[in-house]
Amino acid sequence: MAQQVATIKQTLHVKDEIEARNVEFLRRFAAKDAQGVAALYTPDAVVFPPNMDMMTGRDAITAIWQGAFDMGVTRATLTTIEALHAGPYANEYGTYEMFVGDTKVDWGKYMVLWRKDGAEWFLHRDMWNSSQPAK
């Protein structure tokens, strides 16, 4: 029982840490700082964007986010539903929204595998897809 309580407390702590990293992600995103967003990923991170091939590394990730900014995306929201961890890894899933100005242009769900390096969590695998109806 004591082990279960310790695990629950540790999981809640990890969720708080992941949510804090998401706040930083969104701050850089709102500043349209594609390189700053990419710096929150591990150097060998892989992203799985919708309707695109998977892409590896911070340069590719910078290009993905710069492409979103170039299309006019101005801000996003992230809502963590759950974050579970084992050792230096944490798995988070939740929902997102993307906006151009005040207009919501996309919404959906995401799953991230985080990796802890020192005291910080970094996105290691990042997958998201839209919940919009097919056109």
What single letter denotes the amino acid at residue 73? V
> 73-128 pLDDT, tens per residue?
999 999 999 999 999 999 999 999 999 999 999 999 999 999 999 999 999 999 99
* Residue 4: pLDDT over 80: no
Which backbone phi and psi does 110 adopt, to 5 degrees? -145, 160
Token pair of 12 as six digits = 């809640």
Q: Is 90 exposed, middle or buried (0-12, 13-18, 19+ CB in 10 A)?
A: buried
Report the mean per-residue pLDDT for the chain. Answer: 92
Q: pTM of the entire structure?
A: 0.89
Q: Specify the pLDDT at position 11.
A: 57
Residues 94, 100, 102: CA angle, nearest 5 degrees: 90
Domains of the chain: 2-130 (3.10.450.50)
